[in-house]
A = this chain, B = another copy of it.
Amino acid sequence: MAVNSPLPVSADLKPVAGIELGYAEAGVRKANRKDVLVMKLAPGATIAGVFTLNRFCAAPVQVCKTHLAQASDAAPIRALVINTGNANAGTGEEGLARANATCAELANLLGVKPEQVLPFSTGVILEPLPVDRIKAGLPAAIANLKTDNWFAAAESIMTTDTQPKAASRTLTIAGKKVVMTGISKGAGMIKPNMATMLGYLAFDAKVPQTLLDQLVKDAADQSFNCITIDGDTSTNDSFMLIATGAGELEITSADSAEYKELAAAVSALSQNLAHQIVRDGEGATKFIEVTVEDGSSVEECRKIAYSIGHSPLVKTAFFASDPNLGRILAAIGYAGVDDLDVSKLNLYLDDVWVAKNGGRNPDYKEEDGQRVMKKSEIVVRVKLARGTARASIWTCDLSHEYVTINADYRS
């Protein structure tokens, strides 16, 4: 299931000069599906990432952080390897050894050092990584490395996703062309905290490492860090931003107009990829934006927005198209904003004013709420009358299909 399927993803994703992609069917968990992806970066590329804050962060995430910290101009990151079917999380020392073994094998095949490879895994937690099958699949992945393999790459990182997630954009900044393409995956265990599992976005402008580090954080905060499907923060969340430097634009300062334009484009494309994840949320039939306005801080707006977005009662009401909107008030009330004066609170569902000054709006009619609830895209807007801060998050409903998918995931 997916909201408004099929998604506007097609095969006309733009190649980004300086990056090649190759996949394999390695049989990590199931046969006959793309489950290993290699991304090869040309010399001159910079890369930055943000990772899950889950304390059980997976072995590949730990290896990624180490390799990124060790990377230098003399020995930059040159390749990424991603497998589905197994998260290599909750696997202790042996998990680290297997993530490192994967890097070593790919490094050997590409003629680089193991520290120049970043590993990523997604799938079941607490099971040993079948590292031999992954290693055996690498030659095939390398054999089909191509710059125009983005769609196949998006397919090869899917798990419970029903559709590949990808987006592409070409823009001109200061008269110079920039090509930007990204892919992401994820449909359950989605409440990213720093990034989601998994997103990769590359463009061909040249950006110094320190600026790229900032850029990836800003983009994640405005996109992947604003979505939730089930409130479960994954052990493997990773969002990587790659500047190949093989195109026309070169960024030298964070204060430049060029940087700001590039950052806005990266955020917009990241948001697009993040929304694709919510639209393909496990069992999702509706795409819901929750915006909280007039708060005293962004943090309290986010707290309330997430409280609404995580409530199983709110989510099932959306699934049923039932304007049982008191459940939204209850979720606002227990969000943990202790000094909230509910008598000043207003609630809107799209253009319908539902709650006025903390109570039912006398002009609110059930049929108006019903009309909005039947839509597949809905905006919930809460006005707090406490200040000028605002925040939006994006989420989906909770359906029978979610239970079915997650009751059957491993079988």
Q: A residues engaging B (CB < 8 A)?
A: 53-57, 87, 89-95, 124-128, 188-189, 191, 193, 230-235, 310-313, 316-317, 319-320, 322, 324-327, 329-335, 337-338, 340, 342-343, 354-355, 357-360, 398-400, 402-404, 406-411
Distance (whole angstroms) from the CB of A292 to the closest CB of chain B? 14
A-B contact pairs, 8 of them (CB 8 A): A91-B360, A232-B327, A232-B331, A235-B326, A319-B407, A324-B409, A400-B400, A403-B403
Please give, as numbers and ranges, the residues of chain B lying within 8 Å of A91 by CB-CB distance.
359-360
Query: In the bound complex, what is the Cα–Cα distance between A127 and B320 (angstroms)?
Result: 19
List chain B residues, Cβ under 8 A from A330: 54, 56, 89-90, 125, 189, 232-235
| A81→B201 CA distance, assembly (Å) | 60
- Chain B residue, CB-CB nearest to A399: B403
- Please, which residues of chain B bring their CB within 8 A of the CB of A311? 230-232
Majority secondary structure, A binding face: loop
Docked-complex contact B230 and A313, CB < 8 angstroms? yes
Give A11 Cβ to nearest chain B Cβ, in Å.
Answer: 32
Chain B's closest residue to A235 (CB) is B330
* Residue of chain B at shortest CB distance from A340: B55
Instruction: Tell me the smallest distance from the CB of A168 to a CB of chain B, in Å.
Output: 32
A357 to B56, CA, bound (A): 12
Contacting pair A322 B407 (CB below 8 A): yes
Q: Which residues of B contact A127 (CB under 8 A)?
A: 326, 360
Contacts of A320 in B (CB 8 A): 406-408, 411
> What's the minimum C-beta distance from A188 to chain B, rounded to whole angstroms?
7
Bound state CA distance, A230 and B310, in angstroms? 10
